Amino acid sequence: MGEVPVRVLTGTSFLSMETARRRGYHGADTTKTPQTERNVYDMAMMNSVKRAGFRALYGYLDKDPDTNIPKLMDWVDRFAGDGPNSFPDQRAAFRRVIENPDNNWYRLIRSMWTDIDGGVRRTFFENFMLNGNLIGWPIQEQARERYGCNIPWAILLDPTSACNLHCTGCWAAEYGNKLNLSFDEIDSIITQGKQLGVYIYIYTGGEPLVRKDDLIALCNKHSDCEFLCFTNATLIDEDFADQMLRVKNFVPAISVEGFEAATDGRRGTGVFQKVRRAMEILKARQLPFGTSCCYTSANLDSISSEEFVDQLVEWGAKFAWYFHYMPVGNDAAPELMPSPEQREQMYARIRAYRNSKPLFLIDFQNDGEYVGGCIAGGRRYLHINANGDVDPCVFIHYSDSNIRQKSLLDCLRSPLFMAYHDGQPFNENHLKPCPMLENPDKLREMVARTNAASTDLQSPESAEHLCAKCDGYAAAWHPAAQRLWACGHSREGCADACAPRRQAG
């Protein structure tokens, strides 16, 4: 990679929280956000109040979780009051959960105290909950209003296109293994992100842990952020786990394909055992981790089975992310897309597990209702590949911006990202959230209008070629999506036939 001008904001121009604290500033980390002087002051004040309140609350929980977790809602109720925006129903639901020790969510929360290292747990609460949400969100909101564009909640980026495995059909391998974002480039992305209120960074790739030393260095430098990492886990060894324990803000999401035969079949013999070993290493150090699974027409039944989900819990996973197979790339296999019946099965199963298993499950294609539909294009996240191309989504490889040429904010204001901004939600039915998969005409139109180019460096695919693979799928999924949506969101149109399923879910 040649010398490219990178907007590197050095550490001295931006106070990390820890530095600010040492110097006696409180909440000074927000002073660089785009605001007026007055706002800066107000926000810094608000943040120190939030920080102090949050720490007091955390200290209270930490002292005696068994007694104090159930009492958590007493605090919340006192703060929330009974105004119209005080979410009374949600609070009541949450209260039912945390006052019942047998409830799966209670068990999951409680396990944060029995299974996770104290320092790592505290850092997670501070970086993810406090900085990533309570403090980051208002900064994001201000920037949204000020710049009139999407501002993300998380940034996904590929440190490298290299991978140590050669799995069949891996979508990330398309980039080949020659591309890398340098340490300074990633540092600059994070520094710019924090100025917009983004404290959550998610590595994908390639295999990000090919660059493990740089990732640890970034965790250390941005100790106020939470880092998540999609990984095949085969590079997690004792030394790396020790470094994770030292920096405290790195959480792996380990790709699993199913049981041993399925995993080794796709990734190579012995990989499953290496993954198990990595989980053991993490568990021994009380480090949190989750899993990620891509569901296809071939493996859906197995990786959504209760047996498999129980296995994930037993292995020690705290979260499980499920991704729908996307027919992306010239050599994709559209027959691997789940059938409508299969997708509906996934919908029902994940919802049922969410009411019974101590595991935080997300199905990215079926959970649009919780996040208002498509979250890409910077609405909640964006993706930067190892070539610096800024894609709207990890699955949508079209772009009109490169982080090596533009600031993060300018990428968010590019025509393609503004098309996402103006077009979202792409469908009122959040079971059909995607401008590619369920609404392929939307992506065709946006790419054509903005002249976005394919960022697939190995084999550029036209939007027409990609979207044509989704037309049939979208039409086939439509009736089920309408029925499920009506069923979940209004009584009208809800056929009696789905009543039992609703109970199960």
Partner 1 sequence: MPKSTKNQIMTTLAELLQAKRLDDITVTELVENCGISRQAFYYHFSDLYGVVDYGIQILLDELGAARPEDWHTAMERALTLLREHRTLVLNVYRAYERSYVESHVRRWAAPLVGARTRLAARSYAVTESQIAFMTDLLTQGLASIVLSWVEQGMPSSVIERMDDFDILVGGCLDYTLERLAQKNKR
283 binds, among partner 1, ligand SF4, none (CB under 5 to 8 A by kind): none
Tell me which residues in 413-442 interact with ligand SF4 (CB under 6 A).
433-436
296 binds, among ligand SF4, partner 1, none (CB under 5 to 8 A by kind): none
271 binds, among partner 1, ligand SF4, none (CB under 5 to 8 A by kind): none
Q: Select 190 or 326, whichever has its Cβ closest to partner 1.
A: 190
Residue partners of 377: CB distance under 8 A and separation at least 6: 150, 392, 393, 416, 417, 419, 420, 421, 424
Find the shortest distance in angstroms from Cβ 103 to partner 1: 38
486 binds, among ligand SF4, partner 1, none (CB under 5 to 8 A by kind): none
| Spatial separation of the C-alpha atoms in residues 197 and 155, rounded to whole Å | 11
Contact 287, 120 (CB under 8 A): yes
160 binds, among ligand SF4, partner 1, none (CB under 5 to 8 A by kind): none
Find the shortest distance in angstroms from Cβ 184 to partner 1: 7
Chain center to CA of 337:
22
Q: Where are the beta strands (DSSP E) in 338-393?
A: 360-363, 381-384, 390-391
Binding site for partner 1 (CB under 8 A): 10-12, 16, 18-19, 22-24, 183-184, 187, 213-214, 216-218, 220-221, 223
Tell me which residues in 321-350 interact with ligand SF4 (CB under 6 A).
none
Contact 228, 199 (CB under 8 A): no
Token digits of residue 204: 């994908």
Find the shortest distance in angstroms from Cβ 207 to ligand SF4: 21
Token digits of residue 39: 């706002």
| Spatial separation of the C-alpha atoms in residues 399 and 417, rounded to whole Å | 9
223 binds, among partner 1, ligand SF4, none (CB under 5 to 8 A by kind): partner 1
178 binds, among partner 1, ligand SF4, none (CB under 5 to 8 A by kind): none
Say if strands 200-203 and 154-157 run parallel, antiparallel, or are unpaired. parallel
217 binds, among partner 1, ligand SF4, none (CB under 5 to 8 A by kind): partner 1
- The gap between the terminal CA atoms of the chain, to the nearest Å, is 50
The one segment of 50-58, 274-282, 374-382, 404-412 that binds ligand SF4 by CB under 6 A: 374-382
How many residues lie near ligand SF4 (CB under 6 A)? Answer: 10
- DSSP state letters, 137-189: HHHHHHHHHHH-S---SEEEE-SBS--S---TT-GGGGGTT--B--HHHHHHH
| Spatial separation of the C-alpha atoms in residues 35 and 238, rounded to whole Å | 45
CB atoms within 10 A of CB 352: 17
Token digits of residue 31: 């002073």
Token digits of residue 136: 């980051």
Q: Select 234 or 429, whichever has its Cβ closest to ligand SF4.
A: 429
Q: Is 376 a residue that touches ligand SF4 (CB under 6 A)?
A: yes
The one segment of 146-154, 229-237, 388-396, 467-475 that binds ligand SF4 by CB under 6 A: 388-396
Find the shortest distance in angstroms from Cβ 250 to partner 1: 13
Find the shortest distance in angstroms from Cβ 131 to partner 1: 15
| Spatial separation of the C-alpha atoms in residues 202 and 383, rounded to whole Å | 9
Q: Select 150 or 180, whichever has its Cβ closest to ligand SF4.
A: 150
Contact 320, 310 (CB under 8 A): no
22 binds, among ligand SF4, partner 1, none (CB under 5 to 8 A by kind): partner 1
Find the shortest distance in angstroms from Cβ 204 to partner 1: 20
Find the shortest distance in angstroms from Cβ 295 to ligand SF4: 14
218 binds, among ligand SF4, partner 1, none (CB under 5 to 8 A by kind): partner 1
Q: How far apart, in Å, are the Cα atoms of 427 and each of 41, 124, 381, 431, 439?
A: 40, 34, 18, 9, 8
433 binds, among ligand SF4, partner 1, none (CB under 5 to 8 A by kind): ligand SF4
- Angle between helix axes 260-267 and 271-284 (nearest 10 degrees) is 120
Find the shortest distance in angstroms from Cβ 196 to partner 1: 21
Q: Select 128 or 395, whichever has its Cβ closest to ligand SF4.
A: 395
Find the shortest distance in angstroms from Cβ 14 to partner 1: 11
Find the shortest distance in angstroms from Cβ 481 to ligand SF4: 13
- Residues, the chain, total? 505
Contact 185, 404 (CB under 8 A): yes
Token digits of residue 17: 């929280």
Residue partners of 213: CB distance under 8 A and separation at least 6: none
434 binds, among ligand SF4, partner 1, none (CB under 5 to 8 A by kind): ligand SF4
Per-residue x/- mask for ligand SF4, residues 393 to 412, rule CB under 6 A?
x-xx----------------
Q: Select 14 or 289, whichever has its Cβ closest to partner 1.
A: 14
Contact 410, 348 (CB under 8 A): no
Q: Select 21 or 283, whichever has its Cβ closest to partner 1.
A: 21
Find the shortest distance in angstroms from Cβ 135 to partner 1: 19
Compute the Cα dihedral for 297, 258, 488, 420 and give only its sign. negative
Q: Select 24 or 81, whichever has its Cβ closest to partner 1.
A: 24
Find the shortest distance in angstroms from Cβ 434 to ligand SF4: 3
CB atoms within 10 A of CB 225: 24
| Spatial separation of the C-alpha atoms in residues 316 and 433, rounded to whole Å | 31
Which residues would be at the binding site for ligand SF4 (CB under 6 A)? 374-376, 393, 395-396, 433-436
